[in-house]
């Protein structure tokens, strides 16, 4: 039986514009699904807060104002629980922040509101967004809609689980080391990490090392492009950049058109080694290597050039660990009672970060900047580089060590060794759900040149037309 969530976000927007559904009807549909599928011990656990009354009021307000050409007019989404939405709690996945209610919207929330979206609530994230799995002690544990005993990844795990389960048409996420691409890959979605400086409200420029940027999680390439366009420019005008440094502009303007057309032939590299190989025993599941090879064959059949790619040698693992620890040093834990509320991983990162000397931090930043330049130079002969999205299939809930932070950090690198170095390099990357392995989603990652999200979206659209992954859904669909 047909239901509204079976439509893509683009199709839902078209229905809204034609008056075939109202913002209130669409909002009520998703709120009913959230109420039915999300809570409980066996629920998806995608949401930490649902603002049903505020969402209905917002939808009614949009309906009274009349149909609009705003890029997200009437479309439901939700805010990751690292960003503020006025009137809702911002828990940051931590007992330390429990009870804090936002007084005003964060900038990205305001941008999405200006674009016409209806926020249904807050999606789950691990504590302070620091891990690639969403199983915070404060709760809820986010379950993979494809198999509820498996994790949904992180740190945008709640956002991805909500989209995969049909609780949202798409969702904004943020990505400092893979936090969009990891959960999107685990739940069978498209996840796009934009270039550093691309999204003005979440550019990465203000974060240590320039790592964390905002981007879309969606079921289709076009839906991801649609949300990216709104995040960059909610009114369709030139982006309101806050800094002189910014990502190069798109050759075609808006990304939605590029994603719909899906045109072009490109030179692609294929990479199977990761910068974590020298630090840990990284082993890519042979089935996922098979998915990578099959995708390379598909791209060859589409007329793209395909050849092997390599990474430059570096001391990347030690450099990244330093910057990740330093980034946690500012978490507002000061007393023993504060630290008692933190999870072991977070407490370990905070303490290690505060032990760093300025000279160590400066050397790490310089080393990572040199690494960025070397990666861009090594990939220069390619329009995009293809890697596995993940090295392993989605792990079981509780698989990551809850007591030994060193071991848990290593486990994250074993699952997702291909993501964090892209943040360090500031490059755009997209994960595409090209296959299933034993009934679970399996994806590939495409890494682009600086500012070339258009190439990633064009290639993604070509593969989507060929592989039709938007027709695959978990049982709860």
Q: Give the number of other CB atoms < 10 A from CB of residue 323.
A: 26
276 closest CA partner among 310, 308, 320, 323: 320
pLDDT reading at 253 higher than 80: no
Options 8, 174, 179, 203, the catalytic residue: 179
Name the token pair of 466.
Answer: 């060929």
pLDDT for 411-454, tens place per residue?
999 999 999 999 999 999 999 999 999 999 999 999 999 999 99
Name the token pair of 287.
Answer: 């089935």
Report whether 89 contacts 100 (CB < 8 A). yes
Options 8, 94, 109, 155, the catalytic residue: 155
pLDDT for 164-220, tens place per residue?
999 999 999 999 999 999 999 999 999 999 999 999 999 999 999 999 999 999 999
pLDDT for 235-246, tens place per residue?
989 999 999 988
Residue 153 to residue 251: CA distance in whole angstroms:
33
Residues 4-27, mean pLDDT to the nearest whole number: 98
Residue 133: CA atoms inside 13 Å, Cβ hemisphere, count?
28
Options 8, 80, 195, 416, the catalytic residue: 80
pLDDT at residue 12, rounded to an integer: 98
Active site residue 416: no
Strands 267-270 and 384-388: parallel
Q: At what angle do helices 358-378 and 316-328 cross, to 10 degrees?
A: 130
Contacts of 405 (CB under 8 A, 6+ apart): 344, 345, 347, 348, 349
pLDDT for 296-349, tens place per residue?
999 999 999 999 999 998 899 999 999 999 999 999 999 999 999 999 999 999
Residues 51-70, mean pLDDT to the nearest whole number: 96
pLDDT for 275-301, tens place per residue?
999 999 999 999 999 999 999 999 999
pTM as predicted:
0.98
pLDDT at residue 251, rounded to an integer: 76
| pLDDT band (50, 70, 90) for residue 112 | very high
375 closest CA partner among 458, 274, 460, 251: 274
In SS3 terms, 9-71 reads as HHHHHHHHHHCCCCHHHHHHHHHHHHHHHCCCCCCCCCEEEECHHHHHHHHHHHHHHCCCCCC
Q: Give the number of other CB atoms < 10 A from CB of residue 131.
A: 29
pLDDT reading at 249 higher than 90: no
Mean of the per-residue pLDDT values for the chain?
97
Residue 236 to residue 254: CA distance in whole angstroms:
9
pLDDT reading at 250 higher than 80: no
Active site residue 122: no
Active site residue 193: no
Residue with tokens 């999870």: 343
């Amino acid at each position: 039986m047909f239901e509204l969530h079976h439509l893509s976000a683009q199709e839902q927007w078209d229905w809204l514009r034609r008056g075939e559904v109202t913002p209130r009807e669409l909002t009520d549909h998703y709120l009913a699904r959230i109420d039915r599928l999300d809570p409980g011990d066996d629920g998806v656990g995608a949401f930490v807060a649902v603002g049903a009354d505020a969402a209905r009021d917002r939808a009614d307000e949009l309906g009274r104002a009349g149909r609009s050409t705003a890029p997200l007019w009437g479309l439901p989404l939700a805010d990751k629980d690292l960003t503020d939405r006025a009137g809702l709690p911002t828990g940051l996945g931590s007992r330390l922040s429990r009870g804090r209610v936002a007084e005003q919207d964060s900038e990205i929330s305001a941008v999405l509101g200006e674009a016409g979206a209806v926020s249904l609530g807050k999606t789950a994230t691990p504590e302070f967004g620091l891990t690639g799995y969403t199983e915070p002690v404060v709760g809820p544990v986010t379950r993979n809609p494809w198999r509820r005993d498996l994790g949904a990844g992180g740190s945008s795990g709640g956002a991805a689980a909500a989209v995969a389960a049909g609780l949202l048409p798409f969702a904004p996420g943020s990505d400092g080391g893979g936090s969009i691409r990891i959960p999107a890959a685990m739940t069978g979605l498209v996840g796009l990490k934009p270039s550093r400086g691309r999204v003005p409200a979440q550019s990465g420029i203000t974060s240590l090392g320039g790592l964390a940027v905002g981007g879309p999680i969606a079921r289709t390439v076009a839906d991801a492009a649609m949300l990216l366009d709104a995040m960059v420019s909610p009114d369709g005008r030139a982006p309101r950049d806050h800094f002189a440094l910014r990502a190069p502009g798109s050759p075609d303007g808006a990304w939605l058109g590029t994603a719909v057309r899906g045109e072009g032939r490109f030179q692609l590299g294929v990479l199977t080694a990761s910068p974590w190989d020298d630090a840990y025993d990284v082993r890519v599941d042979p089935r996922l290597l098979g998915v990578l090879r099959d995708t390379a064959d598909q791209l060859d059949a589409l007329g793209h050039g395909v050849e092997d790619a390599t990474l430059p040698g570096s001391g990347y693992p030690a450099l990244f660990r330093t910057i990740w620890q330093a980034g946690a040093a500012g978490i507002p834990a000061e007393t023993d009672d504060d630290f008692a509320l933190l999870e072991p991983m977070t407490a370990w990162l905070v303490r290690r970060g505060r032990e760093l000397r300025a000279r160590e931090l400066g050397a790490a930043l310089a080393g990572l900047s040199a690494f960025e330049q070397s990666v861009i130079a090594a990939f220069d002969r390619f329009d995009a580089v293809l890697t596995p999205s993940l090295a392993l299939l989605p792990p079981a809930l509780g698989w990551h060590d809850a007591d030994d932070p060193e071991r848990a950090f290593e486990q994250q690198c074993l699952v997702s060794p291909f993501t964090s170095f892209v943040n360090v390099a500031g490059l755009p990357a997209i994960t595409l759900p090209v296959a299933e392995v034993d009934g679970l989603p399996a994806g590939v990652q495409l890494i682009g040149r600086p500012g070339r999200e258009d190439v990633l979206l064009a290639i993604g659209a070509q593969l989507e037309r060929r592989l039709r992954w938007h027709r695959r859904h978990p049982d709860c669909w």
